[in-house]
Amino acid sequence: MLKKTAKMLLAFWLAAALLPALAGCENEVQDPGATSTTEPALTVANTTNSPPESGASEGSFAVDATQHMQRRDFYTKKQGGGRDVFTLMLYVCGSDLETDGGSASADLLEIYNGLGSGRHDNLNIIVETGGAKEWGFDFIDSNRNQRWKIDFDGFEHLQDAGLRDMTDPGTLADFIMYCEEYFPADRYGLIMWDHGGGTLGGFAVDQHFPNSPAMTIGEINAALDNAGVKFDFIGFDACLMATAETAFMVEQHADYMIASQRVEPSLGWHYTDFVAALSADTSIDTLELGRIIVDSYIREARHSYYGNELTLSVIDLSYIGDLFYYLYDYFASAEYALINDAALVDMSRARYDSRVLTGNEDQVDLMYLVSNMEVEGSKALIESLERCVAYNGATIANHNGLCLYFPYTDLSWVEEALSIYDDIGIDEGYRSFISTFATLMVGGQIHSGGGSGNPFGDGYGADSWQGYWVDYDLIDEYRDYYDENNYSGELEIFWKEDYYALRLSDDDWDYITAIELEVYLDDGEGYIKLGQDNLFGFDEDGDLIVEFDNTWVALDGQIVCFYAMEDVVEDDFWYTWGVVPAELDGREIEIVLIWDSDNPGGYVAGARNVYDGPVTGKGLFDLRDGDEIYFICEYFTYDEEYIGKYYWGGLTVYGELEVSYEDVGDGDCLVYYLLYDIYQNIYWTEPLLYSLDW
C-alpha cells in the first residue's frame, strides 16, 4: 500500500511542479459498428469557417481588412446539392498493426459498414493496401500492393500494383495519379493510414522493406507535387502528425488537414459515421465532415485506458499563410530577445514547461508554448492560431490542435529538421531562430561540460553536436551569461535525522527542470541497470529525500528493468506509465505498464514494437497466451565499463501478467539521482550503497 500511495501522491506532486502529459496507445479490438453514448470533451474553435469570397487566384492569399489577416481561396469548388463526385483515397500501409492485430482490416470493415445498402454513384472509395506480412481479410494478398474499390456490395479488386515500398514517395504519387485518372471527381480526399512520427519522424513502416526509413514530410510533399491533385482534405490516421510544419507542407495541396497531436490507438479513426455522412451527401461541408471524424474518433476511443489523452484536430489550411506570417514575426522577436536581452534562461524554462510527451519530447503544443513564452507578437500569433484550428477534440489539457518541433531534449536532430524546412519551403528566419536557440543550448552544455558525467558511461554533452548550424561566435558572446546563469553542480548528499537528503540553494533549484532515480544491482559479477523511476519527494525544508526501499518493478514476481515515462493528473484522475524492455519472436518490444486512480497496483496495458528513428508506434498489441518473452537489461563491469544488452530472465505468458514491486534480493544496489538543468546537462548525485548486510 505504501508503494501504491507513493505512486498516486507522486503523480499529483508532478502535476503541480512539472505539468507533464502522457502518450499511449493500445490494440483493443472493438466492434466496428459499436457506438458510445458518452459525449466527448471537445475544444471548438472557428466553427463558422467558410471559403472567402475574394476573387484571388487559386492558391493566392487575400487580405481581409476587417480582421487584418491573410486567407487564400479554397482549392476545391463544390457544385452543391449532392451533385459533387467525391473520390476518397486511402493509402493503407498495414505494417505490424495489421499483421499483429488486424487493425487495418477492422477499419476497412468500418468503411464498408458506413456505406449501408444501395448504390453510391457519386462516391468512389479507393484503397491501396500493402506494407503488411499478413492481412486479416483472406482476399487481400500480402505479397503485393493491391488497389480496391469499396462499395455497398463489397470490395472490388481493381489492380495488382506489384510489391512496392509504401514508404517510397513514388508509390504514394502513383496511387494518387491512378485515382485521379480512373475516378475523376469534383472533390478529392486522401487519408494516410499507419504509424507516424510528426515533423521529424514522417509516415509509415513497411514490413516488406524493413531497411527503408519512414517517408519524411519533405518526401510526402514531393509525392503530392508529382501527383498534382488538389484535395478537399488530407488526413493522417497516424500518430503525431498534427504539427505546424506538416500543415505548412499540406497547405500547398489541400484545404484542410485532419491529424492528431498525440499517439493514436491502433484502430485509429472510427470510419463508419463519416463514410455514412459522405455517402448520404457528397456535397457535405468539409468542416462538418471533419467534425464527424473528430467526434466519432473520441467517442469510440475514450472508454479504453488511453481515453484521457486523445487528440484530433481539423486545420483550416487557407489560414496557414496567415499563421506563418505571425509565427515568423514571433520567432524574430524571440531571436532578438535571445541575442539582445539575454533571455535564454526564461525561454528554456518556458520551453520545458510547454513539453508534450507524446513519444517525441521535442514536439510542443504551439498554443501552450506561446502562452508560456511571451514575446512581442504573441497575442497576434495566438489569434491567428485560433483561426487556423477550425475544430479541436482533446480529452487532455494543453493540446490545442497543432504542435511544433522545438529542439530541446535531443539536439542531434536539428540538422535533419533544418533540411526538412528547406525541403518544404519554410522561411530562413524561422530556421534562424531554431538554430540560434539550439546553438545557445549547445553553449550551455559546452560551458558545463555536459554536467557531472555518467558514472557508467561516456560523458554527455555538446561534443556530439558538431552540425553546421552551431554558431560558435554567438556561444563566445554568451560566455559571461553562462558564467552567471548555470547550476554549480555540487551534489553532496548528507545524513539528515533518519534519512539521506540533497540540499540545493533556491537559485540552483531554479536551474533544475527534471529529477530521476536510477538504480544498479550488483549480481556478483558486475552491475545490472534496473532502470529509471520517477519516485522522489521533498521534505518540509525543500531538500530532496534520497531513499530506496530495496524493491523494484516486477512482472509475475520476476524483477525486470523498468523506465518510467510520464505522470499526468487530469481533474480527479491520475496515471503514470513506463516501459519494460523485452524481446518477443526475435524482435525488440516494450511492455507498457500503467498505474492510475482506478488501478493503483498497476497493470500491463500491452506491448509495442521498437522502431529506428523518431517514428512512434500507433497502438499497442496484446500479449497472448504462449508468448515467450525475454527481458532485456544493460550490463556494466565493476570498472564501470558498458558491456551491452543482455537477456535477464523471461517468462511464458499465461493469462494476465501481474505487476508488483518486489525485493531485489541480496545483491547490493547503487542508487543515484539524476538532475537535468535548463541546458539539458545531466548531473548525477554521488552513489548511495544499499546493502542487506547493514
* pLDDT of 43 above 60: no
Residues 6 or more apart from 31 whose CB is under 8 A from it?
A: none
The burial of 524, by beta-carbon neighbours within 10 Å (0-12 exposed, 13-18 middle, 19 or more buried), is given as: exposed
Residues 6 or more apart from 515 whose CB is under 8 A from it?
A: 536, 544, 673, 674, 675, 676
Q: What is the model's pLDDT at position 691?
A: 76
502: left (phi over 0), alpha (psi -120 to 50) or beta: beta
Confidence of residue 56 (pLDDT cuts 50, 70, 90): very low
Average pLDDT over every residue of 391-418: 92
Q: pLDDT (tens digit, 9 = 90+) per residue, 507-525?
A: 889 899 889 999 999 999 9
Q: pLDDT (tens digit, 9 = 90+) per residue, 354-367?
A: 776 555 668 999 99
Mean pLDDT of the chain: 85
pLDDT > 70: percent of the chain: 86
Q: What is the model's pLDDT at position 358?
A: 57
Q: What is the model's pLDDT at position 116?
A: 85
Query: Is 451 or 375 the better-scoring residue by pLDDT?
Result: 375
Query: Which element (helix H / strand E) includes 483?
Result: helix 479-484
Average pLDDT over every residue of 444-456: 73
Distance CA 522, CA 666 (A): 9
Average pLDDT over every residue of 367-388: 93
Distance CA 650, CA 629 (A): 5
* pLDDT of 533 above 80: yes
Q: Which of 320, 265, 368 is nearest to 606 (CA)?
A: 265
Q: What is the model's pLDDT at position 453?
A: 59
Range from 43-47, 558-562, 686-690 carrying the lowest mean pLDDT: 43-47
* pLDDT of 689 above 70: yes
The conformation of residue 526, written as its DSSP 8-state character, comes to S
Confidence of residue 452 (pLDDT cuts 50, 70, 90): low
Instruction: Please give the radius of gyration of the chain, using alpha carbons only, rounded to the nearest integer.
Output: 26
Give, in degrees to the nearest 5, the angle at Cα 108 between 104 and 111.
Answer: 145
Distance CA 397, CA 308 (A): 9
Q: pLDDT (tens digit, 9 = 90+) per residue, 161-186?
A: 999 999 999 999 999 999 999 999 99
Distance CA 372, CA 363 (A): 15
The conformation of residue 39, written as its DSSP 8-state character, comes to P
Q: What is the model's pLDDT at position 45?
A: 43
Confidence of residue 193 (pLDDT cuts 50, 70, 90): very high
Exposure on the CB side of residue 650, measured as CA atoms within 13 A: 14
Residue 156 carries which side chain, given as an amino acid letter?
Answer: E
Range from 1-15, 213-227, 263-277, 533-547 carrying the lowest mean pLDDT: 1-15
Confidence of residue 4 (pLDDT cuts 50, 70, 90): very low
Confidence of residue 338 (pLDDT cuts 50, 70, 90): confident
Q: Which of 197, 249, 195 is nearest to 218 (CA)?
A: 249
Q: What is the model's pLDDT at position 241?
A: 96
Distance CA 298, CA 305 (A): 13
Confidence of residue 601 (pLDDT cuts 50, 70, 90): very high
Average pLDDT over every residue of 108-126: 91
Q: Are 213 and 204 in contact (CB under 8 A)?
A: no
**Secondary structure of residue 68 in the 3-state scheme:** coil
Q: pLDDT (tens digit, 9 = 90+) per residue, 543-596?
A: 999 988 889 999 999 999 999 988 877 777 788 889 999 999 999 999 999 998
* pLDDT of 529 above 80: yes
* pLDDT of 397 above 90: no
* pLDDT of 615 above 70: yes
Average pLDDT over every residue of 127-156: 96
* pLDDT of 24 above 50: no
Q: Which of 673, 637, 671, 687 is nearest to 519 (CA)?
A: 671
Q: What are phi and psi of 269, to 5 degrees?
A: -65, 160
Distance CA 347, CA 353 (A): 10
Confidence of residue 692 (pLDDT cuts 50, 70, 90): low
Residue 423 carries which side chain, given as an amino acid letter?
Answer: D
Range from 103-112, 233-242, 444-453, 467-476 carrying the lowest mean pLDDT: 444-453
pLDDT > 90: percent of the chain: 63
Query: Is 20 or 659 the better-scoring residue by pLDDT?
Result: 659
- CA dist 262 to 300, 400, 414, 448, 582, Å? 16, 11, 21, 34, 24
Q: Are 580 and 593 in contact (CB under 8 A)?
A: yes
Q: Which of 120, 84, 90 is nearest to 284 (CA)?
A: 84
Q: Are 186 and 86 in contact (CB under 8 A)?
A: yes
Cα-Cα-Cα-Cα dihedral sign, residues 94, 76, 63, 393 = negative
Confidence of residue 490 (pLDDT cuts 50, 70, 90): confident
The separation between CA 81 and the C-alpha centre of its own chain, rounded to angstroms, equals 40
Average pLDDT over every residue of 28-52: 36
DSSP codes of every residue in 234-245: EEEESTT--BHH
Q: What is the model's pLDDT at position 555?
A: 97
Confidence of residue 289 (pLDDT cuts 50, 70, 90): very high
Confidence of residue 465 (pLDDT cuts 50, 70, 90): low
Distance CA 61, CA 527 (A): 62
DSSP codes of every residue in 556-607: TTEE--EEEEEEEEETTEEEEEEEEEEEETTEEEEEEEEEESS-TT-EEEEE
Q: What is the model's pLDDT at position 353?
A: 81
Exposure on the CB side of residue 355, measured as CA atoms within 13 A: 26
Q: What is the model's pLDDT at position 11?
A: 33
Range from 23-37, 405-419, 465-479 carrying the lowest mean pLDDT: 23-37
* pLDDT of 13 above 80: no
Residues of the chain with CATH 3.40.50.11970: 61-76+84-326
- CA dist 94 to 26, 97, 137, 141, 408, Å? 16, 6, 12, 12, 33
Residues 6 or more apart from 407 whose CB is under 8 A from it?
A: 362, 413, 414, 417, 434, 437, 438, 441
Runs of H (alpha helix) within 135-265: 169-182, 198-201, 217-227, 244-250
Q: What is the model's pLDDT at position 243?
A: 96
Q: Which of 86, 558, 572 is nearest to 285 (CA)?
A: 86
Confidence of residue 117 (pLDDT cuts 50, 70, 90): confident
Distance CA 306, CA 264 (A): 9
Q: What is the model's pLDDT at position 37?
A: 28
The top-level CATH class assigned to 61-76+84-326 is alpha beta
Distance CA 495, CA 378 (A): 47
Quote the cell numbers at residue 421.
524546412
